[in-house]
Amino acid sequence: MQKLKAPFFEHLHHDSVMQDVSEQLDQLEKNVIAITPWKEYSYKPDVQFVIAHNHDCLFIKYFVREESVRAVFRRDSDPVYKDSCVEWFITFNQDPSYYNLEFNSLGTCTVGYGQSRYERTLLPESITKQIRRSASLRIVPVPNEKPVVEWELTLIIPTSVFCYNDIDAIKDQSCRVNFYKCGDDLPTPHYVSWNPVVSEEPNFHLPQYFGELQLL
């Protein structure tokens, strides 16, 4: 099981300037999402992320480089997993239920809560709109090859998003997590994870395979 340490950013908070948050996250050592659990989906885009926290929010930034991009959905709770999508799942303090937070390259998100893939309660827009997002995308030419797409997504996620848990401060919480990259409707569908997943078919909703998150 992989373990992840999230440093404490005392000088940043939920209302911080997004550019400041993004630049501070750029200074952290990146974690790689690079496990392809299912042989029939062997394509592996270059995906990295960093994570930090303050008393009342988490800061996450994704760095993605892939051969193509899809960004259709623009309204929260749309099926963003069909687009170029990054995801992370988290559970607190031995709670059998977990949150899935999924974002396409535009920052459109879906957030759910429940104990399994088929027992999800989608969080309303009044909750998801509390997540601040900043996205950027560029096309990068590659000599003698097709150009590739690079995109970044910076997120500020307040503890109020985790509305089914009583969390006053994120520091010292016991958390288990996994991070993913997918794209169901891309020309080359793919399913990539940070911590290993074992199942016969693509399924990220397996909390028994979450890694550990330490909030320092």
Q: Are 195 and 186 contacting, i.e. CB atoms less than 8 angstroms apart?
A: no
Average pLDDT over residues 116-123: 95
Instruction: Supply the range of the domain harboring residue 169.
Output: 3-215
Mean predicted confidence (pLDDT) in 105-112: 98
Q: Mean per-residue pLDDT for 133-159?
A: 94
Residue 127 makes CB contacts below 8 A (sequence gap 6+) with 111, 160, 161, 163
pLDDT over threshold 90, residue 132 = yes
Least confident of 27-36, 39-48, 90-99, 169-178: 169-178
The average pLDDT across 187-194 equals 98
Q: Quick one: pLDDT at residue 194?
A: 98
Return the HEC string of 161-213: HCCCCCCCCCCCCEEEEEEEEECCCCCCCCEEECCCCCCCCCCCCCHHHCEEE
CB 177 within 8 A of CB 210: yes
CATH of the domain at 52: 2.60.40.1190
Q: Given this model, what pLDDT does residue 94 score? A: 87
pLDDT at 19: 97
Report pLDDT for 129: 97
User: Domains in the chain: how many in total?
Assistant: 1
Judge whether residue 167 has pLDDT over 90: no
Residue 126 has pLDDT above 90, yes or no: yes
Average pLDDT, the chain: 96
pLDDT band at 107 (very low <50, low <70, confident <90, very high): very high
Q: What are phi and psi of 160, to 5 degrees?
A: -65, -20
Task: Give the confidence band of 127 by pLDDT, cuts at 50, 70, 90.
Answer: very high
Give the tens place of pLDDT for each residue, 4-16: 999 999 999 999 9
pLDDT at 93: 87
pLDDT tens-digit series, residues 35-79: 999 999 999 999 999 999 998 999 999 999 999 999 999 999 999
Q: Say what the pLDDT of residue 166 is.
A: 86
- The predicted pLDDT at position 170 comes to 85
**Is residue 169 predicted with pLDDT exceeding 90?**
no
